[in-house]
Structure 1
């Protein structure tokens, strides 16, 4: 199953300190607004989001319909189709996408260790 582009969304305490740290690891700012306490940073092989005060835990994020540069892909599995398939395997969701909707939507579930997994479709 193709869940789309992958990134890790980090709940940070100090966005400036986190930005400086990840820049030393070779990441560059790719998007976001530091004044709004969020940045998306990219290295040649990874994408991370820094989010100060927006959520309590780190989140594994998948973006159906986007590539690693946040650009729309060609065809992709819609969030509602992904959600339906995952539900059919017995997984349960913390938050579900509206199955009657179209376009952007999201759902969240927890892995066995309580890590939040966000599947977030923007297109």
Structure 2
């Protein structure tokens, strides 16, 4: 099962303060748009997303089809296949990707401790 690039998506109260804080830890803006209140920050291979007002809690995030530089990779497991495998293993879906669609899609699940996991395919 290839889940793709991994990051932590943080629900922040003030995107500018959070950006400054993580810059002090050696992160730099890698993507996103601060005027839309979301940024992707990177320090070496570590990626965090900062999101103000977009969701309520922090999430683990996987991006099938991408590497840690947000570059397309040739070989990956499509999100619909990941979803089918997880459902077959008894994993409960909080939200689901349309299994008859192609391209970008997402689903969410929770781990046994209540941590939300977003699997978000961009291509």
Smaller-chain TM-score range? Answer: over 0.9
Q: Which residue of 1 aligns with 2:39?
A: 39
Unaligned stretches of 5+ in structure 2? none
Count of residues in correspondence between the two structures: 123
Tell me, in whole angstroms, the C-alpha distance in 1 between the residues paired with 2:5 and 2:32: 17
- State the shift of 1:112 in Å: 1.3
Tell me, in whole angstroms, the C-alpha distance in 2 between the residues paired with 1:90 and 1:20: 41
Unaligned stretches of 5+ in structure 1? none
Q: Which residue of 1 aligns with 2:51?
A: 51
> RMSD in angstroms over aligned alpha carbons?
0.7
Residue aligned with 1:112, SS: coil
Q: TM-score, normalised by structure 1?
A: 0.98
Greater strand share, structure number: 2
Q: TM-score, normalised by structure 2?
A: 0.98
- In the TM superposition, structure 1's runs of 4+ consecutive aligned residues that sit over 4 Å from their partners are none
After TM superposition, list the pairs within 5 Å mapping 1:1-123 onto structure 2: 1-123=1-123
